[in-house]
Amino acid sequence: MTKIIGAQLIVQERQEQLEKHGRSVDRDIKENDGFQLVHAASILCTPNPDHTPEVNTDAPYGWDEELWEKMLNKDYKQRLIIAGALIAAEIDRIEND
């Protein structure tokens, strides 16, 4: 049985962001130029963000609050996968800006 590795899960998540959720590099260049992608990724990497007083779990500037809450409510592994995909999106943004 072949196991899926973390990088594959991140690639799958990034593809979902692009195909299912309508994200694009151009859109991220316009809408996430205040480092919202890495800010979100850092919060999602926190094991228990809601129980960590020094972590502000407000939605990143300009983000849909309901969608952000859905991300925060995922289990830790899924939040790490999303965070990895958001970091990939940030790299795409800075490479293409």
pLDDT, residue 32, reads 97
Total number of domains in the chain: 1
Domain assignment of residue 1, yes or no = no
Q: What is the pLDDT of residue 3?
A: 79
Mean pLDDT of 25-49: 95
- Say if residue 1's pLDDT is above 70: no
Domain contains 86: yes
**Domain hosting residue 61, numbered range:** 6-96
Residue 15 resides in a domain: yes
The verdict on residue 28 lying in a domain is: yes
pLDDT tens track for 42-78? 999 999 887 888 889 999 999 999 999 999 999 999 9
DSSP per residue over 34-82, as a string?
A: TSHHHHHHHHHTSSSGGG-TT---SPPTT--HHHHHHHHTS-HHHHHHH
